[in-house]
Amino acid sequence: MDLDQTFIQAPEHRADSNFIPNQPEEIPVIDLSRLNDPENIQNVISEIGDACETWGFFQVINHGVPCDARKRVEETVKIFFDLPMEEKIKVKRDEVNPAGYHDGEHTKNVRDWKEVFDIYFKDPMVMPSSTDPEDEGLRVVYNKWPQFPSDFRINRYPPCPRPDLALGVGHHKDADVISLLAQDEVGGLQISRRSDGVWFPIRPVPNALVINIGNCMEVWTNDKYWSAEHRVVVNSTRERYSIPFFLLPSHDVEVKPLEELLSPENPPRYKGYKYGKFYVSRNRSDFKKLEIQNIQIDDFKVVT
């Protein structure tokens, strides 16, 4: 079956690129109930620190989020996405207000095979009204589903006729501080290993949360912690749901390496940037296909 051109990834970004199946290694799964044992606290902290350096990703189990609460959210997510399109487009996002439903998100200028609904933790949310660094104007944006205020994005990845050509989400790094993600049992999330860029699957673990480092944490730690590229591979038979929570700084936070981590041997690797401007620029560019590369954290790297 033919696939709309807008979804087709360049050959080097397709699901089979740089992916070696059946690798014995996997990202750490950390049992947080061990924090109840005072003798284990330091071990858990070290394991999390190591995971943030080596992978930029880990999973947690026994994290304290009740299973029945998660189940209720998952059921509500399905009810929403099963609504007829004429209902979903009543709460559609637009170019300047990113809250709401969207089925045309682009990652790095290729359309993602998915539907999303974005809900802000703070309602209303304040963000810069333009990407121009000189413009201090602010915009107030409101959630589109106010009866269910929450702090999640919800994603549905429908079965895809050509999973070899399209991706559910193209390769990217998250722009936030950290992301927490609940995924269902279908699988498809992959991360790129820090040491060599080989793609690794994040194995679905029942009731686990996937945690990953975003750009802000990477910059604050001056690259000690790693914000890994990740992507979502789709499949031709099963739909997949995921529910990420993105922890965002306020728009006026200046993100730059923390002074206390810097030294003559460890000079700053990034210039500071205003979070809100970065966010608005990235978010608007994800709305539709552009001919130019959108903003990336590497644009703020200090050139040595």
- Work out how close the CB of 176 gets to ligand AKG at its nearest, in angstroms, rounded to a whole number: 9
Binding map of ligand AKG across residues 116-155, x = CB under 6 A, - = no contact: -------------------------------------x-x
Backbone angles phi, psi at 233, to 5 degrees: -90, 140
Which two tokens mark 45? Answer: 């902290």
Which of Fe ion, ligand AKG, none interacts with 271 (beta carbon under 5 to 8 A by kind)? none
The residue from 169, 178, 217, 255 that contacts ligand AKG (CB under 6 A) is 169
The 3 state secondary structure assigned to the chain is CCCCHHHCCCHHHCCCCCECCCCCCCCCEEEHHHHHCHHHHHHHHHHHHHHHHHCCEEEEECCCCCHHHHHHHHHHHHHHHCCCHHHHHHHECCCCCCCEEECCCEECCEECCCEEEECCCCCCEEEECCCCCCCCCEEEECCCCCCCCCCCEEEEECCCCCCCCCCCEEEECCCCCEEEEEECCCCCEEEECCCCCCEEECCCCCCCEEEEECHHHHHHCCCCCCCCCEEECCCCCCCEEEEEEECCCCCCCEECCCHHHCECCECCCECCEEHHHHHHHHHHHHHCCCCCCCCCHHHHECCC
- Residue 232 makes contact with ligand AKG by CB under 6 A: yes
* # binding residues, ligand AKG (CB under 6 A): 11
Subset of residues 239 to 268 that bind ligand AKG, contact rule: CB under 6 A: 242, 244
- Residue 189 makes contact with ligand AKG by CB under 6 A: yes
- The nearer residue to ligand AKG, 244 or 276, going by C-beta atoms, is 244
Among 34-42, 58-66, 181-189, 264-272, the segment contacting ligand AKG (CB under 6 A): 181-189
Cα angle 123, 128, 130 (rounded to 5 degrees) comes to 135
Nearest to 279 by CA among 251, 238, 240: 251
- Residue 77 makes contact with ligand AKG by CB under 6 A: no
The residue from 105, 174, 184, 218 that contacts Fe ion (CB under 5 A) is 174
- Residue type present at position 165: L
Measure the CA–CA gap between 188 and 170, rounded to whole angstroms. 12
- The nearer residue to ligand AKG, 190 or 221, going by C-beta atoms, is 190
Q: Tokens 């690794």 belong to which residue?
A: 200
- Work out how close the CB of 262 gets to ligand AKG at its nearest, in angstroms, rounded to a whole number: 29
- The nearer residue to ligand AKG, 216 or 232, going by C-beta atoms, is 232
- The nearer residue to Fe ion, 112 or 174, going by C-beta atoms, is 174
- Work out how close the CB of 160 gets to ligand AKG at its nearest, in angstroms, rounded to a whole number: 14
Binding map of Fe ion across residues 124-163, x = CB under 5 A, - = no contact: ----------------------------------------
Which of Fe ion, ligand AKG, none interacts with 178 (beta carbon under 5 to 8 A by kind)? none
Rg (CA), the chain: 19
The residue from 103, 115, 118, 174 that contacts ligand AKG (CB under 6 A) is 174
- Work out how close the CB of 232 gets to ligand AKG at its nearest, in angstroms, rounded to a whole number: 5
Subset of residues 148 to 167 that bind ligand AKG, contact rule: CB under 6 A: 153, 155
- Work out how close the CB of 224 gets to ligand AKG at its nearest, in angstroms, rounded to a whole number: 22
Q: Which residues bind Fe ion (CB under 5 A)?
A: 174
Chain residues in the site for ligand AKG (CB under 6 A): 153, 155, 169, 174, 181, 183, 189, 230, 232, 242, 244
